[in-house]
Amino acid sequence: MFETSLTWNDVLFLLQGAGTTLTITFWAVLGGTILGMLFGLARATAPWWLNAPIGFVLDILRSVPLLIQFVLANSFKSILKLNVTAFTVGCVVLALYTAAYCAEIVRGGILAVPPTTRRAARSLGMTYTQDLTNIVFPIALRVALPSWIGLTLGVMKDTALVLWIGIVELLRSSQILVTRLQEPLFILSIAGLIYFLMSFPIARLGARLEKRWREND
């Protein structure tokens, strides 16, 4: 018969870690999406002298492993004596990392709009702003949504790396319990189930939105 030393308090400890994971994911995706939209729009429409430096910075954020970014940011925080928490560092670094990928998603969505469609809109008397809000953004959103959902789910899993800067999120809380109870398979299975329960609604919401848009076409 299966026996475990896991108590209800231990489960609550895991759920607290899951709450931290969701909170970091929320702020990282929110900040990263806002920045990514701005950077993506600049990448798709700005002149080369603005596009090139933005692209260079985003390439750095995408190329350097996220773990190294966490460690470097946390180290510079101590060197510069900045009065910010490890939680804030984790959210900022992950938001910038998210923005680097979101910018390419937005850029791809904007460039997916046929130039003939945009020219037709301008020929009807639409301004540049009206062209973007009424023509480009609705079409780009449909193109970009699946990739953005995938990015969001990836960010949620990447939050596990914040344990290296001292944040107790879901993975770190499960490691603490594994060390204390010596039941790795059972505890990690529970942690995996919690990750699934957090990710599944996001994936289904994205699928439902895509289906609704297809039905309305």
The answer to whether residue 193 sits within a structural domain is yes
Predicted TM-score (pTM) of the model is 0.91
Q: What is the CATH number of the domain that holds 205?
A: 1.10.3720.10
Contacts by residues 33-37 (CB-CB < 8 Å, ≥ 24 positions apart): 33/98, 33/99, 33/102, 33/148, 34/99, 35/95, 35/96, 35/99, 35/102, 35/103, 36/98, 36/99, 36/100, 36/101, 36/102, 36/103, 36/105, 36/106, 37/102, 37/103, 37/106
The answer to whether residue 137 sits within a structural domain is yes
- The pLDDT value recorded for residue 95 is 97
Q: Phi then psi for 152, rounded to 5 degrees? A: -60, -45
The answer to whether residue 64 sits within a structural domain is yes
Is residue 23 classed as helix, strand or coil in its secondary structure?
helix
Number of domains in the chain: 1
Q: Which residue has the higher pLDDT, 103 or 117?
A: 103
The answer to whether residue 1 sits within a structural domain is no
86's CB contacts (< 8 A; 6+ apart) are 74, 162, 165, 166, 167
Domain span holding position 143: 8-216
Give tens-digit pLDDT for 172-215: 999 999 999 989 999 999 999 999 999 999 999 888 888 887 77
The answer to whether residue 3 sits within a structural domain is no
125's CB contacts (< 8 A; 6+ apart) are none
Of the candidates 162, 160, 173, 157, the residue with the CA atom closest to the CA atom of residue 15: 173
Give tens-digit pLDDT for 5-18: 888 999 999 999 99
The answer to whether residue 2 sits within a structural domain is no
Give tens-digit pLDDT for 33-91: 999 999 999 999 888 898 999 999 999 999 999 999 999 999 998 888 888 999 999 99
